[in-house]
Amino acid sequence: MIQKVLQLILKEGISDKNQIARHAGIQVETLDDIIRLLMERGYLRTEENGCDVEPSCSGCHSTADCEIITNTGLVFYVTEKGKKYANKVGGESS
């Protein structure tokens, strides 16, 4: 499931937690746990108050690298390690 979440972010470009949860077929609370796990494993990183533009990203210096922008002002970035894991063939190993 964590690989699917990363794929939804990277390949589908979904940035809203509610949409990610719906597409993955999980509850938002479960997604929060997955996001926490992704961060612990080094697949995602955050930048506090990294987003000054809401709800639009136009004009943001981080738009090209940003994967998820939360309504709390936290910006989530998929790391290189996360990109490799999302593109891994054969499914999840954990």
Domain-by-domain residue ranges, the chain? 2-86
CATH code reported for the domain at 2-86: 1.10.10.10
Tokens of residue 79, six digits: 């790391």
Residue 65: per-residue pLDDT:
55
What's the whole-number mean pLDDT along residues 67-82? 70
Q: What is the pLDDT of residues 46-63, one digit of tens each?
A: 766 555 544 455 555 555
* Cα dist from 48 to 1, 10, 57, 74, whole Å: 26, 21, 16, 5
* pLDDT on residue 29: 93
User: pLDDT by residue (tens digit) across 18-53?
Assistant: 888 999 999 999 999 999 999 999 998 876 655 554
